[in-house]
Structure 1
């Protein structure tokens, strides 16, 4: 059967995808209304229709990295495991793990999410009602708590990650990452405030007991899509960092990136500019309603999130110093990394 090539996918990729969908019984005829989906990931995401049904295709970047396919398949295993849970997530239609089909890349097809990214735009309902925006924040805590209650053994994720020693690995792992940035020419070393004191505090105050569970790994406002009809979370997206670890680090990550009165808005998005959001304390209280986990050490998890994310962002600054990333982006993320370490210092002081 002849296919109509999409300029976005290219003639060969369009033909390969169409033929593969034929073998899976996923519609007939050409792909239509093919358009890209933008987002914070470098993965390729394309929305299209076939025979009246909408699909979203997700694959690694056009220039695949060494682990791009492995990471994507890791993600599909997690999303498939969540299929019968009440965690809002993109629903997988089909997965292709054969790299011969599609230009060396594995890929999957999922149902489109009826939602919007609140860091980009707010519909009139959400923009015009601060009570809706307040409930959007609480809905994020609900969605995250739902994820934290999933029994990863029961949904088939035994062996999915390495929970043993998870918390013990964190500080040494990220100090080594920060040290590795010295390999970039032009980078004069870290001037992030309080790295060693924060690391020392984290090591001395690490929780002695915790319960493993599913982690998203990068849970913040930009990785959530909200319903256009109200405050509910339509889907948690971008699961590339998912693992089995301590789910309370996801809550700490949300709090570390949450807009702080008088502080730096790390995401600088439409929702945070509109205001009306719940406080960090309200998010913790909301999460507590749906969990049996001990939240007494949540300040520790928030400090760890500040520490880890600050070091991740500093990596882009180091690459920018070497001309491997735009200077403006490097400067902005360095400022965010400093703000995160400053926030960690304030949390420690008040702990």
Structure 2
């Protein structure tokens, strides 16, 4: 056995069956900070390298970790303007794991993932700006994908995206919450009362942010982690990116706040760059920003719940804290307040994070 949840001997047999015959013994090492699907770097004795991806261990929320669906999307995106790893094959449940879970084998792409503050600090200010602008331009490419030509037109319903997200993630919140946080419920009410008109449906990544990119020479060379991808409104992705994009003086889920460093552009600059790259109207971005923060808080709660239920799912940098989740929810309410989205909740009993003057 190598890493938890993976049988090394079974991985070797699977690679051979996929036409990727390894040389000598294999070594597996978990990579990335993702606490959702588990990702491993697989190497042999002659510089062969692959990526193996499988769902997390333990009980899973329905549809939240569908690696086979993710593989379908990556395969469809090959040859488009969106840079993605090559999928070598999918492995049916139980082939390489110690449990009945599927897995995907894909190519390894050299580059840098800005997933820790030391990595961000090591970038020159000019490189930080180049990466951020490439990030937004890459997002515009995601939303430019021809759904019919790629066979992704039937990936999901074309019904309005925001109501679907509110239904889905409200359910996930109820299933993963470990403590009461009434401000999440209040935010849900505000968002439901402020639904924008949706007149466009594109591919959406679903979790588009800096940690899910491989960069090289100031540009994005691969977009990773497509497990939440679906069809929906493109500004949802931009809103999610803004949710992760803290500005100086703001709190996040943890201490990873690279966008507060010199050189990284402001959220307003990201929105302007996206509008220029996509030609899209961004009038409703405040709603999608608040929705992105709401969703981020719920995703973080799911990560916390999985790590609590099974410590093997913890990543090297730890897990979100209840305090960090509350801070994200507070930021969402601040965005909603500024944009006058829905009825503002009473401040009575509000979490302390809402009263720290968090700037948005």
How does the TM-score come out when normalised to structure 2? 0.79
1:290 aligns with 2:277: yes
Pick from 152, 157, 163 the counterpart of residue 152 of structure 2.
157
Q: Which structure: larger Rg?
A: 1
CA distance in 2, matches of 1:235, 1:315: 26
Q: Is 2:108 the counterpart of 1:112?
A: yes
Give the Cα–Cα distance (whole angstroms) in 1 for the partners of residues 301 and 91 of structure 2: 35
Q: Does 1:239 align with 2:233?
A: no
Could you say what the CA RMSD is over the residues aligned between the two structures, in angstroms?
Answer: 3.4
Alignment equivalent of 1:342, drawn from 333, 352, 355: 333
The alpha carbon displacement at 1:105 in A equals 2.7
CA drift of 1:150 comes to 0.5
Whether the aligned pair in 2 keeps the contact of 1:118 and 1:269 (CA below 8 Å) is no
What secondary structure sits across from 2:222 in the alignment?
strand
**Could you say which residue in structure 1 is the equivalent of 2:191?**
202
For residues 76-109 of structure 1, the C-alpha deviation after alignment (integer angstroms, 9 at most, x for no partner) is 0011111111212222122223544654332121
Equivalent positions of 1:165-180 (< 5 A) are: 165-175=160-170, 177-178=172-173
2:20 to 19, 22, 26: 26
Confirm whether residue 45 of structure 1 aligns to residue 45 of structure 2. no
Across the two proteins, how many residue pairs are aligned to each other? Answer: 333
In structure 2, the partner of 1:303 is 290
The equivalent of 2:239 in structure 1 is 252
CA contact (8 A) 2:55 2:65 kept: no
Q: Judge conservation of contact 1:259–1:266 (CA < 8 Å) in 2.
A: no
- The answer to which of 78-87 and 265-274 deviates more is 265-274
Structure 2 stretches lacking a partner, 5+ long: 312-317, 343-360
Residue aligned with 1:149, SS: coil
Which range is displaced more, 263-272 or 133-142?
Answer: 263-272
Q: Distance in 2 between matches of 1:61 and 1:311?
A: 17
Following the alignment from structure 2 to structure 1, what is the Cα–Cα distance between the partners of residues 240 and 51?
28
Whether 1:127 aligns to 2:133 is no
Q: Deviation digits for residues 224-279 of structure 1, max 9, x if unmatched?
A: 2221xx21112222222111121210101111221123322445326335332111
96 and 300 in structure 1: CA distance in 2 versus 1, 3 angstrom threshold:
same
Change (3 A) 1:30 1:123: same
Per-residue deviation, 1:120: 1.1
Distance of 1:150 and 1:49 partners within structure 2: 33
Q: Please give the alpha-carbon distance, in whole angstroms, between the structure 2 residues aligned to 1:190 and 1:123.
A: 33
